């Protein structure tokens, strides 16, 4: 399995760059991945979505929540989610959260 150094830590990733072991994740890794995704700062609103997604993934056998699950579970509207994580929020949330690619995402 491929590895990548993120925030000075070597982590396992798949061919698309998604982390494969959520236990290797930390907030420094999240911040660096966010930079790669074009987000200069992770605000409290970003962390609300990230933390909720990580917690929810535990109940989904480690699977990333879908866009609909995120909006319903966090109370963040789809429009707000696109503002926080432009151009594919479900995938960006999953990457930044150290989770796998959400099912149904291309």
Tell me which residues are annotated as active site.
105
Q: CA–CA separation, 1 vs 36, rounded Å?
A: 21
Q: Which two tokens stand for residue 22?
A: 């959520």
- 9 phi-psi bin (left φ>0, alpha ψ -120 to 50, beta other): beta
Which residues on neighbouring strands pair with residue 10, listed in sequence order? 5
Query: Using an 8 Å Cβ cutoff, are 81 and 102 in contact?
Result: no
């Amino acid at each position: 399995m491929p590895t990548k150094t993120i925030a000075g830590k070597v982590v396992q990733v798949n061919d698309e760059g998604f982390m494969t072991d959520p236990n290797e994740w930390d907030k420094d890794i999240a911040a660096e991945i966010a930079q790669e995704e074009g987000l200069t700062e992770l605000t409290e609103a970003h962390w609300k979505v990230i933390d909720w997604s990580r917690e929810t993934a535990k109940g989904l056998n480690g699977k990333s929540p879908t866009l609909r699950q995120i909006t319903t579970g966090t109370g963040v509207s789809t429009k707000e989610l696109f503002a926080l994580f432009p151009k594919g929020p479900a995938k960006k949330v999953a990457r930044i959260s150290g989770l796998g690619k959400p099912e149904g995402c291309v």
